[in-house]
């Protein structure tokens, strides 16, 4: 090919039509922009250093963290979740911008370091230039398409989650600056190609060549193109340098902080909460001042992009409670920045009695369902921060009265119902067999029953159904009777760390006195705290804990519970409990068990990790909040209106005692009690086993 024989001519001049003085001015402005950028970055780092030490090691195995963060950020997997359009848009912007940034870096390196500093031959020519131009043009076009999509969803469809009380001019300037940088770059390229007389090798610059062809077709001469090129080049350069200079001071900073935040993320954020130092004074527990936030939590604040994904999936927000997860993070960020700049007076972070950054009722509204954490594309750890604020409320005596009553009952009796511990196993009296006492004999399965299956009348039926399943499977199992105490999962999440630690230590002492192989829990909340948090107090058997759905799945698979998969002719939907699903990624065991009964499963749109919380977690069962619509009502509506089966769905199946309570209440208050039956999976399986085995099995469930 003739062009390849003249490789040195196949290139472009970096400062075409720019005078030597102009070139020097550009370098001067570049230095200024970079210095402003570095100073702003320094200020950010100094602010993080003012935060407290993080309780978890955020930089252990740093190489693996960087690799995983690069995978998450590069794949845009979190952006695609729940919103394909937004995921595609962000992928186009991310990869387009990254390619353009790399291209600019390569050109600067070749011109200023490789050639001028190291005195090497130019490599920005020939085949390299042709390949470079093609790739950069294509990816630049992809970038503009992504920015056009961003403008479309922001200003045409006006996606609700993009707008809020913290929406500012900087948000508009950010998207428009990027769009104009992309468009301006191509206009500049088109003028350069037209001004150079349309050299044939520039056809590889597909977008620039097309624009140049349009210009020449309009009668634009090379001289006019060159004349127009100069002011356009300067406007583009000034916009680019201005963008670089302002990155650490405005919304573009998320391009740095979000990646850093993903690197420093805790994969178990919210699943396991940090403890309180043994020597901590009451006034030091929880978050009182901005300095009480750890450096990672301050980084969380800066990483927020205002995308609103957290708020869009928050059941508390959708129920009309005063919690907006995005606003909490942004309120804290705004306060921190204003305090750093001496623009405001110092006030408490949270209070129910005085002016504060966050109102007590806002934090009390949180259900700790982890939907916000799961939805956040930059790995902000909302629940951990919310819990620290609740701890401050608890230590300052500002806890909700209903929650205080529950805490007092737990302190005095070891259960949230305030019932004498001696009555904990009375639910077993209606069975026609005796449940073994695990304190007196070795068992394969230590069954931790939990408060609600022990004391709540509706959930007692679930406990009896599960007991019959264990009996039918002829497994070795037992319970702790009056020695069982509340696991403390939700006690910890409302901020009562001291009571949680007391219960944890008492439970651990009991567990270690028992001879068992596997612990099985009825409640996913207990399953979570046993599995992920009790190790903080020296208990090393978290790996030996299973939720009952996992045990029943094993019993069905091994044939201990003989099911053919044709026993039931019902149509059902299944609700994933937060603490089993989002918290611990167990989605398949309940579905496998349900499938073994013959029941037809109609999934709700919000299923598995997208499941919609019942509202009982985080102390929600003990509260009496003002709500426009209860989460339980909305979820039952979804089951009846948004599933494939619709009104033909017979059963709403749960596998959590709290969910049972909240959804039965939601069905009644929403007027759905005659349309659908709320049942536990254990009851469904027992129904199937009873159908299969007939009168040879123990007496039927209630």
Residue pair 525/490 in contact by the 8 Å Cβ criterion: yes
User: Counting beta carbons within 10 angstroms of the beta carbon of residue 342, is it exposed (0 to 12), middle (13 to 18) or buried (19 or more)?
Assistant: exposed
Site of tokens 């600067």? 108
Residues of the chain with CATH 1.20.950: 2-8+19-49+82-249
Rounded to a whole number, what is the largest CA-CA distance in the chain?
100
Q: Which two tokens stand for residue 147?
A: 């920015």
Q: Distances from the Cα of 536 to the Cαs of 269, 274, 494, 530, in angstroms?
A: 15, 9, 18, 10
Percent of the chain with pLDDT over 70: 98
Alpha-carbon gap, residue 82 to 87, rounded angstroms: 9
Residue 248 CB partners (closer than 8 Å, separation 6+):
37, 39, 40, 41, 43, 44, 256
Residue pair 694/564 in contact by the 8 Å Cβ criterion: no
Residue pair 368/618 in contact by the 8 Å Cβ criterion: yes
Residue pair 137/207 in contact by the 8 Å Cβ criterion: yes
- Whether 63 has a pLDDT exceeding 50, the answer reads yes
**How many Cα atoms sit within 13 Å of 239 on the Cβ side?**
19
Phi-psi category of residue 203: left, alpha or beta, with phi > 0 → left and psi -120 to 50 → alpha: alpha
**pLDDT at residue number 558:** 96
Q: What is the DSSP letter of 272?
A: B
- φ and ψ at residue 438, rounded to 5 degrees: -70, -15
CA end-to-end distance (rounded Å), the chain: 86
Q: What is the 3-state secondary structure (H, E, C) of 598-629?
A: CCEECCCCCCHHHCCCCCCCCCHHHCCCCCCC
pLDDT tens-digit readout, 595-644: 999 999 999 999 999 999 999 999 999 988 888 899 999 999 999 999 99
Average pLDDT in the 211-219 region?
96
**How many Cα atoms sit within 13 Å of 69 on the Cβ side?**
21
- φ and ψ at residue 95, rounded to 5 degrees: -75, -35
Q: What is the DSSP letter of 120?
A: P
**pLDDT at residue number 697:** 43
DSSP codes of every residue in 413-471: HSSTT---GGGTTGGGGGSSSPPPBTTTS-EEEEEE--HHHHH-HHHHHHHHHHHHHHH
pLDDT tens-digit readout, 227-247: 999 999 999 999 999 999 999
- Whether 549 has a pLDDT exceeding 80, the answer reads yes
Residues of the chain with CATH 1.10.1060: 276-398
Looking only at the bridges linking them, the beta strands covering 677-680 and 358-359 are unpaired
pLDDT band at 700 (very low <50, low <70, confident <90, very high): very low
Average pLDDT in the 686-692 region?
93
Looking only at the bridges linking them, the beta strands covering 571-574 and 600-601 are parallel
Residue among 102, 173, 100 nearest 142 (CA): 100
pLDDT tens-digit readout, 187-196: 999 999 999 9
Range in 50-54, 91-95, 239-243, 445-449 the model is least confident about: 50-54
CATH class of 276-398: mainly alpha
**pLDDT at residue number 6:** 56
- Whether 5 has a pLDDT exceeding 70, the answer reads no
Alpha-carbon gap, residue 338 to 345, rounded angstroms: 9
Q: Which two tokens stand for residue 338?
A: 């204003």
pLDDT tens-digit readout, 431-482: 999 999 999 999 999 999 999 999 999 999 999 999 999 999 999 999 999 9
Return mean pLDDT, the chain: 94
Query: Between 692 and 410, where is the model more confident?
Result: 410
Number of other CB atoms surrounding residue 603 within 10 Å:
16
**pLDDT at residue number 2:** 37
**pLDDT at residue number 357:** 97
Average pLDDT in the 535-544 region?
96
Percent of the chain with pLDDT over 90: 91
Phi-psi category of residue 501: left, alpha or beta, with phi > 0 → left and psi -120 to 50 → alpha: alpha
Residue pair 399/351 in contact by the 8 Å Cβ criterion: no
Average pLDDT in the 18-30 region?
96
Fold (topology level) of 2-8+19-49+82-249: Fumarate Reductase Cytochrome B subunit (1.20.950)
Average pLDDT in the 653-668 region?
97
Range in 9-18, 253-262, 520-529 the model is least confident about: 9-18
**pLDDT at residue number 694:** 64
Q: What is the CA radius of gyration of the chain?
A: 31
Q: How far is CA 560 from the centre of its chain?
A: 38
User: Counting beta carbons within 10 angstroms of the beta carbon of residue 158, is it exposed (0 to 12), middle (13 to 18) or buried (19 or more)?
Assistant: exposed
Residue among 368, 374, 483 nearest 425 (CA): 483
pLDDT tens-digit readout, 114-154: 988 998 988 988 999 999 999 999 999 999 999 999 999 99
Residue among 444, 455, 656 nearest 551 (CA): 444
Q: What is the 3-state secondary structure (H, E, C) of 325-339?
A: HHHHHHHHHHHHHHH
pLDDT tens-digit readout, 369-394: 999 999 999 999 999 999 999 999 99
Residue 123 CB partners (closer than 8 Å, separation 6+):
110, 114
The pTM of the full predicted model, rounded to 2 decimals, is 0.92
**pLDDT at residue number 8:** 65
Alpha-carbon gap, residue 112 to 104, rounded angstroms: 12
């Amino acid at each position: 090919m003739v062009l390849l024989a003249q490789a040195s001519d196949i290139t472009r001049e970096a400062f075409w039509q720019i005078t030597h003085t102009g070139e020097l001015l550009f370098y001067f402005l570049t230095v200024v922009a970079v210095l402003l950028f570095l100073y702003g970055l320094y200020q950010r780092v100094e602010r993080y250093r003012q935060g407290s030490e993080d309780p978890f090691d955020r930089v252990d195995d740093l190489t693996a963290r960087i690799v995983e963060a690069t995978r998450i950020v590069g794949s845009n997997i979190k952006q695609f979740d729940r919103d394909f359009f937004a995921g595609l848009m962000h992928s186009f912007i991310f990869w387009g911008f990254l390619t353009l940034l790399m291209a600019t870096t390569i050109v600067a390196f070749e011109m200023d370091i490789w050639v001028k500093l190291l005195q090497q031959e130019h490599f920005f020519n020939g085949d390299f230039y042709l390949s470079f131009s093609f790739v950069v043009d294509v990816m630049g076009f992809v970038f503009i398409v992504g920015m056009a999509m961003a403008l479309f969803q922001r200003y045409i469809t006006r996606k609700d989650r993009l707008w809020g009380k913290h929406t500012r001019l900087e948000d508009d300037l950010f998207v428009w600056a990027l769009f104009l940088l992309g468009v301006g770059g191509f206009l500049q390229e088109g003028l350069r190609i037209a001004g150079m007389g349309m050299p044939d090798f520039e056809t590889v610059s597909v977008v620039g060549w097309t624009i140049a062809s349009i210009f020449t077709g309009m009668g634009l001469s090379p001289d006019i193109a060159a004349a127009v090129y100069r002011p356009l080049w300067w406007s583009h350069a000034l916009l680019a340098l201005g963008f670089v200079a302002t990155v650490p001071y405005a919304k573009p900073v998320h391009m740095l902080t979000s990646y850093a935040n993903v690197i420093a993320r805790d994969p178990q954020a919210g699943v396991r909460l940090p403890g309180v130092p043994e020597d901590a004074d009451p006034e030091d527990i929880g978050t009182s001042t901005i300095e009480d936030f750890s450096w990672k939590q301050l980084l969380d604040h800066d990483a927020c992009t205002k995308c609103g994904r957290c708020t869009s999936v928050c059941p508390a927000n959708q129920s009309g409670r005063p919690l907006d997860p995005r606003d909490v993070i942004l309120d804290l960020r705004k306060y921190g920045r204003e305090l750093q700049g001496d623009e405001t007076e110092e006030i408490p972070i949270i209070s129910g009695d005085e002016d504060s950054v966050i109102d007590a009722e806002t934090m009390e509204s949180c259900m700790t369902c982890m939907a916000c954490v799961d939805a956040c594309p930059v790995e902000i750890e909302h629940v951990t921060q919310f819990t620290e604020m609740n701890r401050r409320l608890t230590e300052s005596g500002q806890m909700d009265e209903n929650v205080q009553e529950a805490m007092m009952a737990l302190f005095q009796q070891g259960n949230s119902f305030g019932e004498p511990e001696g009555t904990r196993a009375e639910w077993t009296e209606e069975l026609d067999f005796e449940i073994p006492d695990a304190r007196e004999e070795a068992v394969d399965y230590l069954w931790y029953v939990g408060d609600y299956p022990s004391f709540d009348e509706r959930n007692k039926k679930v406990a009896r159904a599960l007991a019959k399943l264990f009996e039918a499977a002829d497994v070795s199992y037992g319970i702790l009777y009056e020695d069982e105490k509340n696991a403390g999962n939700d006690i910890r999440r409302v901020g009562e760390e001291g009571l949680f630690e007391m219960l944890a230590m008492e439970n651990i002492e009991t567990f270690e006195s028992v001879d068992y192989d596997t612990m099985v829990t009825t409640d996913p909340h207990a399953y979570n705290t046993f599995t992920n948090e009790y190790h903080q107090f020296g208990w090393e058997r978290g790996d030996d804990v299973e939720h009952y759905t996992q045990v029943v799945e094993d019993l069905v698979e091994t044939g201990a519970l003989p099911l053919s998969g044709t026993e039931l002719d019902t149509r059902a939907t299944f609700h994933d409990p937060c603490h089993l699903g989002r918290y611990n990624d167990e989605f398949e065991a309940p579905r496998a068990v349900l499938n073994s009964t013959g029941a037809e499963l109609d999934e709700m749109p919000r299923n598995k990790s997208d499941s919609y919380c019942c509202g009982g977690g985080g102390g929600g069962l003990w509260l009496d909040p003002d709500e426009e619509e209860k989460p339980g009502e909305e979820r039952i509506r979804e089951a009846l209106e948004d599933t494939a089966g619709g009104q033909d769905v017979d059963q709403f199946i749960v596998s959590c005692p709290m969910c049972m309570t909240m959804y039965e209440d939601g069905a009644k208050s929403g007027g759905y009690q005659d349309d659908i039956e709320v049942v536990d999976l254990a009851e469904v399986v027992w129904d199937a086993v009873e159908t299969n085995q007939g009168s040879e099995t123990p007496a039927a469930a209630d």
